[in-house]
Structure 1
Amino acid sequence: MLRIVIDGPRDPFYNMAIDEAIMLSREKANYNTLRLYMWSPSGVSLGRSQNAKNSVYIEKIKELGFKLVRRPTGGGALLHPEDYEITYSVVLSLDNEIARMSVDESASEIAKGILYALQILGENVNIRGLGDKEKHNLCYLRSGSSDVVIAGRKISGSAQVRDDKALLQHGTLLLKFEPETWLKVIKAPGVTEDFLKDRIAGLFEFIDIGISDILEALVKGFTKALNEDRVFTSSLTSNEVQLANRLYREKYSSERWNLLGIQ
């Protein structure tokens, strides 16, 4: 059974707190969860093990009114632009068939939700590791099994984490890509705007469409990718809200976590 949570734009700290709260609550639920959300204000997220000072321009992020948050998952740094990205998180029980796959295999299977959604919208897309093996600070330049590629350029990537009860994967669907802003906040030595334009794309370059239509396609795409025949739409449970609020206060709004990765 799959629960769909269509969320609005939220504070970057709270977005990560909610994703982790859903994962930590999975053992007590009898359903998996797909959450679709956006960001307000814009966020810059770090991978779980990244060095903040070496990876992003901390003062510039503050100057622009963005928020820096460390994800519970791995990977590199990302800009989550307000109004111009839809993010998904998928939480699965480890009993799920996809969760029993390797990380690379499961990441690719889950990312088919983006693939199917874009196909529903009439776009020609595929999944392949597009980026480099080098561990770039900027996540979209890294190669991953779950890279979704449109016109030879990456439009979606993802990262995953597991504990002993559940799997959490969250990923992005870029709607508009502005490389100049990315390079203002993420350290990418030697990388130019033109280089990024050749490698990364936003959906609005290819189609004029509203957010509600994209969300509808994403729900259909992930329902197919996750092979779920029983689907319902709901909000977070009261326990998830309480846990998310605690994680927000004690972890994700803490510079100790966001800058140093220490809880």
Structure 2
Amino acid sequence: MGKAAREVSARERIKAQRERERVQQQRRRIATIVTAVVVVLAVVGGGWWYVQSGRSETLSGELAPISLAADGSTVMAKPGVEKPVLDIYEDFQCPACKAFEQTSGPTVKNMAAAGQVKVVYHVVNIFTEEPTLGNTTRAAAAARCVPGGKQWMTFHDRIYKEQPPESKKGFALDDLVAWGKDSGVTDSGFEQCVKSQKYAQTQADYNKKAAESKAFEKGTPTLRLNGKEIDNSLAFSPSSLRQTILDAAK
């Protein structure tokens, strides 16, 4: 084989190799897209099915007392109620957490008000890139500026109502201040606390500790009843969640 022929053969081999690599890359991209779509459909479709089949409750009246715990969590429980304990790990930027609050949040609140469960909210951060990282950090730090009471829950729910898309910057400091005041927060230091992000590092430390404990290693929302994780099929079905909590009290 002459030199010219060898060069042509080499070019053809290189061309064929590049084409194989292109096809492989295309297949990987398609697989990734398909996987992402399946996951999104599972979350959205599953959440919708649970909403329809579980029938969300309506709030029955006043909330159980809400207080800030020494470890940085927020407790909602009637005096003397110590079990069962429902731990809720949530991220204000997480769409599934918003869906949970809309679907099963009223059940949790009603049961706490009835003295049937002690609820412990753990606001955590699962996002690591912008704009979601900044969004969730600002919201979580702002929530720490609310000194408990029903105002905390009103603010908590308002943040979810205003949750921005994951691709957009949201939870602006001025908005967080305004939502807090709308929620009934009257503390004179609230605005400065939010705008200075006073508790941003405290929140980061809390999040790190919770993550290291693997309390929410499967993501958010994660619900634990007396320390044992509850499957999402129960968490997103209000009637099933209610019965599970009642069973744990026996």
Same fold (TM over 0.5): no
Choose between structure 1 and 2: higher helix proportion. Answer: 2
Which has the larger share of strand?
A: 1
Calculate the TM-score normalised by the size of structure 1: 0.26
User: Which has the higher Rg, Structure 1 or Structure 2?
Assistant: 2
TM-score for both structures, normalised by structure 2: 0.27
